Chains A and B, each alone.
Chain A
Amino acid sequence: MTGPSFARRWFLGLTALFALLGSAGTRAFGTTGTTPQPAPGSALLHMLPDRSHAAVIGRAYLASHPEEAGLDAVLRHLEGLTDASGDVRGAIAARLRRDFEERDTVRLDGWVLARTEARLCALCALLNDRERPVARLSRDAPAQPRYAGAVPTAISAAATRRPSARRTL
Chain B
Amino acid sequence: MLLYADDIETASVLECDLCIVGSGAAGLTLAREFSGQQKRIVLLEAGGLEFDPDTQALYECEAVNPRTPPLTEMRLRFFGGTTNHWTGTSRPLDALDFQPRRHVADSGWPFTLDHLAPYYRRAAALMQVEPSFSGNAPDGNRPLTFDSPWLETDHYFRINPLRFAETYQDDIVKAPNIRVVLKANVLSLTADPTASRVETATVATLSGRRFAVRGNAFVLATGGIENARILLGSDDVEPHGLGNRHDNVGRYYQDHPNVVDSSQVAFTTYSSSILYYLHRVDDQEVGRHGYFWPNPAAQQLWEMLNCGIWLMPIEEVKTTPGLVSLRHIGRKLGDGRMPDEFTKHLLRAVGDIDGIFATAYRKVAGIGPQLYTTWFWSECVPDRDSRVSLTDERDALGQRRLRVDWRIPDQYVHTYQRMHELMAHELGRAGLARMRINHAGPGEDPRAYIASSAHHMGTTRMHADPRLGVVDADCQVHGVENLFVSGSSVFPTYGHTAATYTIVALALRLADHLKQGFT
Q: Which residues of B contact A84 (CB under 8 A)?
A: none
Of listed B263, B424, B430, B436, residue having the most chain A CB within 10 A: B436
Q: Which residues of B contact A114 (CB under 8 A)?
A: 428
Expressed in whole angstroms, the minimum distance between the Cβ of A71 and any Cβ of chain B is 25
* Residue A162 CB within 8 A of the other chain: no
**Contact yes or no, A29 B273, CB < 8 A:** yes
Of listed B267, B268, B273, residue having the most chain A CB within 10 A: B268
**Contact yes or no, A103 B425, CB < 8 A:** yes
Tell me the chain B residues, 409-463 only, with Cβ under 8 Å from chain A: 421, 424-426, 428-432, 434-438, 440-441
* Residue A26 CB within 8 A of the other chain: yes
* Residue B266 CB within 8 A of the other chain: yes
* Residue B269 CB within 8 A of the other chain: yes
Give Cα A105 to B437, complex, Å: 13
Give Cα A22 to B432, complex, Å: 10
Expressed in whole angstroms, the minimum distance between the Cβ of B316 and any Cβ of chain A is 17
* Residue A152 CB within 8 A of the other chain: no
Of listed B430, B434, B438, B440, residue having the most chain A CB within 10 A: B434
**Contact yes or no, B268 A21, CB < 8 A:** yes
Given A25-B268, A25-B269, A110-B437, A105 and B432 contact (CB-CB distance below 8 Å): no
Identify the closest chain A residue to B370 (Cβ): A169
Which residue of the partner chain, among B431, B435, B437, contacts A24 with CB atoms under 8 Å? B431
**Contact yes or no, A25 B441, CB < 8 A:** no
Expressed in whole angstroms, the minimum distance between the Cβ of B442 and any Cβ of chain A is 10
* Residue A96 CB within 8 A of the other chain: yes
Determine the interface band of chain B, counting residues with CB < 8 A from chain A.
Answer: 20 to 34
**A88-120 interface mask toward B, CB cutoff 8 Å, 1 = contact, 0 = none?**
000001001101110101010111111000000
Expressed in whole angstroms, the minimum distance between the Cβ of A168 and any Cβ of chain B is 9
Q: Which residues of A contact B430 (CB under 8 A)?
A: 24, 28
Expressed in whole angstroms, the minimum distance between the Cβ of A94 and any Cβ of chain B is 11
- The 5 A-B residue pairs whose C-beta atoms are closest, nearest first, are A24-B431, A25-B268, A100-B429, A112-B424, A100-B428
Q: Which residues of A contact B436 (CB under 8 A)?
A: 109-112
Which residue of the partner chain, among A25, A107, A113, contacts B432 with CB atoms under 8 Å? A25
Q: Which residues of B contact A30 (CB under 8 A)?
A: 145
**Contact yes or no, A96 B432, CB < 8 A:** no
* Residue B286 CB within 8 A of the other chain: no
Which residue of the partner chain, among A105, A167, A169, contacts B428 with CB atoms under 8 Å? A105
Q: List 15 A-B contacts (CB under 8 A).
A: A24-B268, A24-B430, A25-B268, A27-B431, A28-B268, A29-B144, A31-B270, A96-B428, A103-B421, A103-B425, A111-B436, A112-B428, A112-B437, A169-B266, A169-B267
Give Cα A53 to B125, complex, Å: 54
Give Cα A149 to B198, complex, Å: 91
A112-B421, A112-B437 provided; 9 other pairs, C-beta below 8 A? A18-B268, A23-B431, A24-B430, A24-B431, A28-B430, A100-B428, A103-B425, A107-B437, A167-B269
* Residue B111 CB within 8 A of the other chain: no
Which residue of the partner chain, among B145, B431, B434, contacts A111 with CB atoms under 8 Å? B434
Given A11-B266, A110-B437, A29 and B432 contact (CB-CB distance below 8 Å): yes
**B266-298 interface mask toward A, CB cutoff 8 Å, 1 = contact, 0 = none?**
111111010000000000000000000000000
Expressed in whole angstroms, the minimum distance between the Cβ of B279 and any Cβ of chain A is 22
**Contact yes or no, A11 B371, CB < 8 A:** yes
Q: Which residues of A contact B425 (CB under 8 A)?
A: 100-101, 103, 105, 112
Which residue of the partner chain, among A26, A29, A101, A112, contacts B434 with CB atoms under 8 Å? A112
* Residue A126 CB within 8 A of the other chain: no
Q: Which residues of A contact B342 (CB under 8 A)?
A: none
* Residue A48 CB within 8 A of the other chain: no
Give Cα A21 to B267, complex, Å: 11
Q: Which residues of B contact A11 (CB under 8 A)?
A: 266, 371
Give Cα A20 to B425, complex, Å: 18
Identify the closest chain B residue to A17 (Cβ): B434
Q: Which residues of B contact A109 (CB under 8 A)?
A: 436
Give Cα A1 to B444, complex, Å: 12
Give Cα A27 to B145, complex, Å: 11
Q: Which residues of A contact B518 (CB under 8 A)?
A: none
Q: Which residues of B contact A23 (CB under 8 A)?
A: 431
Give Cα A33 to B503, complex, Å: 47
Give Cα A112 to B435, complex, Å: 6
Give Cα A106 to B385, complex, Å: 37
* Residue B361 CB within 8 A of the other chain: no
Tell me the chain A residues, 40-65 only, with Cβ under 8 Å from chain B: none
**Contact yes or no, B429 A21, CB < 8 A:** no
Q: Which residues of A contact B270 (CB under 8 A)?
A: 31
Given A25-B268, A100-B428, A14 and B438 contact (CB-CB distance below 8 Å): no
**Contact yes or no, A101 B441, CB < 8 A:** no
Give Cα A21 to B427, complex, Å: 13
**Contact yes or no, B435 A169, CB < 8 A:** no
**Contact yes or no, B434 A14, CB < 8 A:** yes
Q: Which residues of B contact A100 (CB under 8 A)?
A: 425-426, 428-429
**Contact yes or no, A18 B269, CB < 8 A:** yes
* Residue B146 CB within 8 A of the other chain: yes
Given A26-B269, A33-B269, A105 and B431 contact (CB-CB distance below 8 Å): no
Expressed in whole angstroms, the minimum distance between the Cβ of B369 and any Cβ of chain A is 8
Identify the closest chain B residue to A24 (Cβ): B431
Expressed in whole angstroms, the minimum distance between the Cβ of B148 and any Cβ of chain A is 10
Which residue of the partner chain, among A21, A27, A111, contacts B435 with CB atoms under 8 Å? A111
Q: Which residues of A contact B440 (CB under 8 A)?
A: 110
